[in-house]
Amino acid sequence: MTKNDLPQSDVQSKLPLIYFMFTISIMHICNVMAFKIVTIFGYQFAFTGIFFPFSFLLLTVLNESYGHVETERHIFYILMGQSLLIGVISLVIRFDVTNNVTTSGLYYELYKNLYKLLLSSNLAVGLSYYFTSFLNSKLKCWFLGKSWWLRFIAANGLGKAILVLSTYPINFYGILSWNQIFHVCINTWIFKMCIALFLLAAAQPLIKMNRKFDNADIYDFGVLYNPTKIYKSGNYGENYFSKNNA
């Protein structure tokens, strides 16, 4: 592995914005469907469990190619975007809730607790995304870019566990029993990991595409993992891109 001529890679890249666009779209879908429960073969799942694995795929691919700091910035933008969405919905549903339109009352019941949604969404998503990125970044440095499958599964498993254990108890408290919440958490985590294993095959082509377009293969040697340092000058990984690995 030879170091690229660019010691720092905090440059304008072509593809991260596309990843952000798809990830924020997934987040908006999940926020709108936050309280939806589906039953598949007798097992109860949170509907968001179908879409969230795709966001973790995009997040891990982004981290693998562009490093932890770039990923942290996208997490920050995603949290701002979903906070705006939740805030607007929570504000709008308070207007004319007594107009005898069924959907108005239903929306109000779902989105009246702004603090609950912001806490479950931003805290859970922020922590799960951050630690997914953090773990994959660390493992990539420790394994020198090897053992991709192990790193992907470990990072995604940790992130999804944080997500389900922090989101669903908050969302469904007072709606479902604790026993039901527990089973929703377990079933949804297993379901998400099954989807993650299926999506694993799509990760490598995306990583190769990133390397081809941006000549980027970032290793986070010496970076500061403090989220408050994401815009600190010089706090960026080192580019070890090689055409032989593209």
Each domain of the chain, given as residue ranges in start order, spans 16-245
Q: What is the pLDDT of residue 13?
A: 66
Measure the CA–CA gap between 215 and 167, rounded to whole angstroms: 37
What is the average per-residue pLDDT within 112-124?
Answer: 75
Q: What is the pLDDT of residue 123?
A: 84
pLDDT at 7 over 50: no
Q: What is the pLDDT of residue 131?
A: 95
Give residue 242's pLDDT band: very low, low, confident or very high (50, 70, 90). low
Q: When comparing pLDDT for 79 and 171, which is higher?
A: 79
Q: What is the pLDDT of residue 246?
A: 54
Q: What is the mean pLDDT of the chain?
A: 81
- Nearest 5°: CA angle at 17, between 142 and 156? 40
Give residue 107's pLDDT band: very low, low, confident or very high (50, 70, 90). low
pLDDT at 101 over 60: no
Query: pLDDT tens digits, residue range 29-61?
Result: 877 776 677 777 777 777 777 777 888 899 999
Q: What is the pLDDT of residue 177?
A: 85
Contact 127, 170 (CB under 8 A): no
pLDDT at 238 over 60: yes
Measure the CA–CA gap between 176 and 179, rounded to whole angstroms: 8
